[in-house]
Amino acid sequence: MAHSHKTVVLITGATGVIGNAIARALAATPDYALVLLARDEGRATKAVDAIRRDTGNGDVSFVIADVSRRHSIQALADSWQGPLHVLVNDAGIAPQGRETTAEGIELTFATNVLAYLWMAQAFAPHLEGSAPARIVNVASYWAGDLDMHDLEFRRRRFDNHTAYRQSKQANRMLTVALAEVMAKRGISINACHPGDPSSVLSRNLGFGGSQSPEDAASTPVMLARGELGAEGTGCYFEHGRETTCRFARDKDAIAQLYDICLGYG
């Protein structure tokens, strides 16, 4: 259990390359307590042990959930004890074929898009209790091709680049949609492009990766620490700087996407 004077960060995807580097960078400062949300206990234990050993920070722990399933996220939020100051949504996938969750939702959409929203909604009461609080959405510059009428590839032929790019566009649009709602609760929410390291996800997309995990984590780490993004909310960052998001302009499309996603329960 984290010490109450610490800044408590819940991070998804920390058994992966970028999430792990974000968690390590934050844990390296002793006033942060890290909770890694993972779906596999073995991988979670390994990640926690390595971060504790390498940083000397004993306040690193894990919780288990499958972010592609809303009930799993909600069960975790319902059992959450203690404060929560920062949520980092980082878990993502780019499977090469169309798969579905047990609920029948296309898996890339459920994991990369709905999970970010469900995590924000489910943990908002805890974040609000620690306000001012922050949500950091790890998105990407590799984004576009969102089809509002076929978010789950029921009509279009499944292609993992299109599914992934659509999901990262949606992350950026939903960050804008949630900013107003969250501001009323004392929670800021910003999105960013991290960097491009080699990972399961990037290799599934055919990208070799050109950056170290540490470099790739630096923008999300600055957002999580509040060194970036402290002045605003609903913004988008690349390379350690706020930048104009081309998906933030169309307010009608943002509202429409938000409504559709809320319709998933």
- Residues making contact with ligand NAP (CB under 6 A): 12-13, 15-19, 38-40, 43, 66-68, 90-93, 111, 138, 140, 168, 193-194, 196-197, 199-202, 207, 209
Closest to ligand NAP by CB, 241 vs 251, is 241
Least spacing, CB of residue 207 vs ligand NAP, in Å: 6
Closest to ligand NAP by CB, 42 vs 149, is 42
Annotate 94-122 with DSSP letters as a single string. Answer: --SS--B-TTS-BHHIIIIIIHHHHHHHH
* Cα–Cα distance, 102 to 66 (Å, whole number): 11
* Contact partners, residue 249, CB within 8 Å, separation at least 6: none
What value, to the nearest 5°, has the Cα angle with vertex 18 and ends 12 and 23?
60
- Assess contact for 71 and 45: CB atoms under 8 A: no
* Contact partners, residue 256, CB within 8 Å, separation at least 6: 148
Least spacing, CB of residue 240 vs ligand NAP, in Å: 15
Least spacing, CB of residue 48 vs ligand NAP, in Å: 13
Closest to ligand NAP by CB, 129 vs 209, is 209
Closest to ligand NAP by CB, 18 vs 179, is 18
Helix axes 251-262, 160-183, angle to 10 degrees: 90
- Assess contact for 146 and 200: CB atoms under 8 A: no
Closest to ligand NAP by CB, 42 vs 184, is 42
Least spacing, CB of residue 211 vs ligand NAP, in Å: 8
What is the end-to-end Cα distance of the chain in Å, rounded? Answer: 31
Closest to ligand NAP by CB, 10 vs 18, is 18
Least spacing, CB of residue 12 vs ligand NAP, in Å: 6
Question: What pairing do the DSSP bridges indicate for beta strands 133-138 and 86-89?
Answer: parallel
Least spacing, CB of residue 93 vs ligand NAP, in Å: 5
- Assess contact for 167 and 92: CB atoms under 8 A: yes
Closest to ligand NAP by CB, 47 vs 187, is 47
Look at residue 32 and give its three-state secondary structure.
Answer: strand
Closest to ligand NAP by CB, 61 vs 130, is 61
Residue nearest to ligand NAP (CB): 16
Least spacing, CB of residue 95 vs ligand NAP, in Å: 10
Least spacing, CB of residue 64 vs ligand NAP, in Å: 9
CB atoms within 10 A of CB 107: 17
Question: What pairing do the DSSP bridges indicate for beta strands 236-238 and 241-242?
Answer: antiparallel
